[in-house]
Amino acid sequence: MCGIVGAVSQRNIVPILIQGLQRLEYRGYDSCGVAVHQGGELRRARSTSRVAELNEMVAVDGVEGLVGIAHTRWATHGVPAVHNAHPHFSHGTGHEAKSAKAGRIALVHNGIIENHDELRADLKARGYAFTSQTDTEVIAHLVDSLYDGDLFDAVERAIAHLKGAYAIAVFCRDEPLRVIGAREGSPLVLGVGVGENFLASDAMALAGVTDQIVYLEEGDVVDLQQGKYWITAKGEDGAARSRVERPVKTVHAHSGAAELGPYRHYMQKEIFEQPRAIGDTLEGIEGITPELFGDGAAEVFANVDKVLILACGTSSYSGMTAKYWLESIAKIPAQVEIASEYRYRDSVPDPRTLIVTITQSGETADTLAALKHARSLGMTNTLTVCNVSTSAMVRECKLAYITRAGAEIGVASTKAFTTQLAGLFLLTLTLAKTRGHLSAEQEADHLKAMRHLPVALQAVLALEPQVIAWAEDFASKENALFLGRGLHYPIALEGALKLKEISYIHAEAYPAGELKHGPLALVTSAMPVVTVAPNDALLEKLKSNMQEVRARGGQLYVFADGDTRIESDSGVHVIRMPEHYGALSPILHVVPLQLLAYHTACARGTDVDKPRNLAKSVTVE
């Protein structure tokens, strides 16, 4: 993960670097730092607090310059501490911003260098002193060791020694108006300005600075100077590197700096935005047609007879929900795989598979790698359901459905999940129609129910006060079980993930029928058991499972559809949802689980939008 910004300009670039970091904090927030070329030396400021504090540090220390790089870190190698914070200097000896003398090379990095141990041993043997546990410092020393007056040349030579994934930005004390960037496996964009050029992990970091963006490709190295830049690409099959032109795109990136309005946290705001987000995602859809997924979709859909969904975390749970829809409505075999597992396992490829990736960010390293793996196995019919139209995933897939959730800032995914479900339901209907399993009447009914979702969601959001009362009970718990069946089992999984992610309460989800095969042993009066209870075909089975919990003294917290006739009783707490919403019910049932996690976390006083150890966008494997 981690976020990078770099700049070469004719004005002081520190405010731009700091603003960029603020917009990239979603990529990690264990520490942050900035380095500039100032007074003929490298100067830096680093902090294990948030970017706002770094901003104060640079103001107090008078850190400014025409050239600089900055970084926000999600720790991989080495604990979150100032000495591990980027930028790293070659020959670094812990000199901080006020120091007159520091190293020669300044470098920031996003990714993981797999052979850092060997490189470190070699560099140590050559006299380089290390001040951090990071793999990044190794690259700084490596570039230094290869530097012979031309930084671009040193970086090109250095990356030939690196194994793993990286995006880097580097500058050198001895070449004051130059920043070099390179990428392999981690995202990096070039922002082209007038008399100035920039680097960033995401175009969003440069919103308002420049909208002229070059998406660097794997293996690219870029040389940024005040009024010019150039790029070299790696040669095919061992051929020498050569200069390339990459298209400059006009990107209207959103700064992501959404106002909180009346909300306490972005997560709460984003939960309450769901009626709008679903409305926007479905806007303008008059009928079910393959073109909703892009040009050429009809041909792709006609050539597939199974679906393989690849995703991580919350996005994998929307995929699991879609599997139920795809098999029951479109009658197409569907499989869901966790991207980080799929990419490394032996599987049996079938070229008539539609590969569907699901990702809010479109930058998740595991999901991107899983897509590439599927393609390398000959499965080239690819589609993504993604929230970021400019992302690597959208660029990599043949077809796309762009959800219109808007920027999601809270680390815990909420509106991205429900809008993914909306996109995946449309995909289900489209494949059903293509395969002759959707009558005109069914199509009209489904579309009507989809259009009504924003209103139905408002009714569920109105349950917030009742959920807050439950959250007060949950705040003192250390464990919770979530139960669901069928289409709502993935919703139970998502509810458990939300709770553990932001409240740090250990939570597990099970298909309710599986309880008696083991987890029932955990049930005591101290164990809250959250039950997702829609009025569907499995309701009677679910009620029996609830009895199994009550018989062991477990406390049931049931989100029951209004028409289920499940009543509150001793040890049975019920929040009554609206009436059953048919196939789209998961979109409603996940919302009170999001609210429960949110209010429990608030009651425990955790950092809701930036939970410990996590980051919004997981760009390392």
- Catalytic (active-site) positions: 2, 616
Q: Least CB distance from residue 115 to ligand AGP, whole Å?
A: 26
Candidates 3-11, 344-352, 411-419, 482-490: pick the segment binding ligand AGP (CB under 6 A).
411-419
CB burial readout 497-529, b (16+ within 10 A) else e: bbbbbbbbbebbbbbbbebeeebbeebeeebbb
Question: What b/e readout covers 347-386, taking b as 16+ CB neighbours within 10 angstroms?
Answer: eeeeeebbbbbbbbbbbbbbbbbbbebbbeeebebbbbbb
Residue 515, H or E segment: none
Answer for which of 394, 618, 619, 620 binds ligand AGP (CB under 6 A) is 618
Shortest Å distance, C-beta 384 to ligand AGP? 10
Binding test (CB under 6 A) with ligand AGP, winner from 47, 201, 361, 585: 361
Interface with ligand AGP includes 313 (CB under 6 A)? yes
Minimum CB distance to ligand AGP smaller for 25 or for 501:
501
According to DSSP, the β-strands at 242-244 and 229-233 are antiparallel
Element (H or E) spanning 148, and its range? none
Contact with ligand AGP (CB under 6 A) among 155, 411, 515, 620: 411
Q: Return the residue of 55, 186, 364, 419 that touches ligand AGP, per CB under 6 A.
A: 364
Using CB under 6 A, which of the segments 296-304, 359-367, 521-529, 556-564 binds ligand AGP? 359-367
Does residue 413 bind ligand AGP (CB under 6 A)? yes
Q: How many CB atoms lie within 10 A of CB 87?
A: 30
Please tell me the distance from the alpha carbon of residue 228 to that of residue 194, in angstroms, as a whole number.
9
Cβ atoms within 10 A of the Cβ of 477, count?
Answer: 18
- Three-state SS at 375: helix
Closest CA relative to residue 47, chosen from 23, 78, 70: 70
Residue nearest to ligand AGP (CB): 313
Binding span for ligand AGP by CB under 6 A among 80-88, 150-158, 405-413, 543-551: 405-413
User: Which spans in 180-247 are helix H?
Assistant: none
Stretch that binds ligand AGP, among 133-141, 312-320, 508-516, 584-592 (CB under 6 A): 312-320
Q: Does 274 bind ligand AGP (CB under 6 A)?
A: no
Which position among 312, 326, 457, 596 is part of the footprint of ligand AGP (CB under 6 A)? 312
Least gap, CB of 358 to ligand AGP (angstroms): 7
Residues 6+ apart with CB under 8 A from 425: 322, 325, 446, 450, 583, 584
Residues recorded for the chain: 621
Q: Which of 171/482 has CB closer to ligand AGP?
A: 482
Q: Strand 382-386 and strand 399-402: pairing?
A: parallel
Q: How far is the CB of 578 from ligand AGP (least distance, A)?
A: 25
Binding-site size, ligand AGP (CB under 6 A): 15
Place of tokens 């808007």: 406
Q: Select the span of 109-117, 173-181, 306-314, 345-353 touching ligand AGP (CB under 6 A).
A: 306-314
- Asked whether position 25 contacts ligand AGP by CB under 6 A, the answer is no
Q: Are strands 189-192 and 197-200 parallel, antiparallel or unpaired?
A: antiparallel
Q: Which of 314, 503, 545, 564 binds ligand AGP (CB under 6 A)?
A: 314
**Closer residue to ligand AGP (CB): 17 or 593:** 593
Judged by beta carbon, residue 158 or residue 385, the one nearer ligand AGP is 385
The residue written with tokens 């470098």 in the block is 107
Return d(Cα 605, Cα 599) in angstroms, integer: 10
Q: How far apart are CA 558 and CA 108, in angstroms?
A: 49
Residues 119-178 close enough to bind ligand AGP by CB under 6 A: none
Distances in whole angstroms, Cα of residue 147 to Cα of each of 122, 144, 157, 362, 604:
16, 5, 9, 36, 52
Please state whether 617 falls in left (phi above 0), alpha (psi between -120 and 50) or beta.
beta
Least distance to ligand AGP from the beta carbon of 98, Å? 38
Cα dihedral: 47, 48, 50, 52 (round 10):
-20
Stretch that binds ligand AGP, among 26-34, 106-114, 361-369, 521-529 (CB under 6 A): 361-369
Is 281 a binding residue for ligand AGP by CB under 6 A? The answer is no
Site for ligand AGP in 486-515 (CB under 6 A): 501
Q: State which residue, 339 or 556, has the beta carbon closest to ligand AGP.
A: 339
What are the backbone angles phi and psi of residue 259, rounded to the nearest 5°?
A: -75, 145
Retrieve residue 145's tokens: 């060791």
Distance linking the first and last C-alpha atoms of the chain: 9
Give the residue carrying structure tokens 């050539």: 303
User: Among residues 202 and 223, whose Cβ is nearest to ligand AGP?
Assistant: 202
Residue 286's contacts (CB-CB under 8 Å, 6 or more residues apart) are none
Applying CB under 6 A, which of residues 315, 340, 384, 434 lies at the interface with ligand AGP? 315
Nearest to 251 by CA among 216, 189, 209, 203: 203
Q: Which is nearer to ligand AGP, 411 or 512 (CB)?
A: 411
SS3 of 542-597: the string is HHHHHHHHHHCCCEEEEEECCCCCCCCECCEEEEECCCCCHHHHHHHHHHHHHHHH
> Least distance from C-beta 540 to ligand AGP, angstroms?
32
Residue placing its CB nearer to ligand AGP in the complex, 417 or 581: 417
Pairing of strands 249-250, 212-215: antiparallel
User: What's the min distance (Å) between Cβ of 311 and ligand AGP?
Assistant: 6
Measured from the CB atom, the residue of 143 and 497 that comes closer to ligand AGP is: 497
Taking contact as CB under 6 A, which single stretch among the options 47-55, 155-163, 358-366, 441-449 is the one that binds ligand AGP?
358-366
Q: Which of 359, 428, 503, 594 binds ligand AGP (CB under 6 A)?
A: 359
Among 136, 232, 321, 367, binds ligand AGP (CB under 6 A): 367
Tell me if 66 contacts ligand AGP by CB under 6 A: no
Which of these ranges, 139-147, 357-365, 441-449, 459-467, lies near ligand AGP under the rule CB under 6 A?
357-365
User: Given the complex with ligand AGP, which of 22 and 315 has the nearer CB atom?
Assistant: 315
Phi/psi for 144 (5° steps) reads: -60, -45
Query: Contact residues for ligand AGP (CB under 6 A)?
Result: 312-315, 359-361, 364, 367, 411-413, 501, 617-618
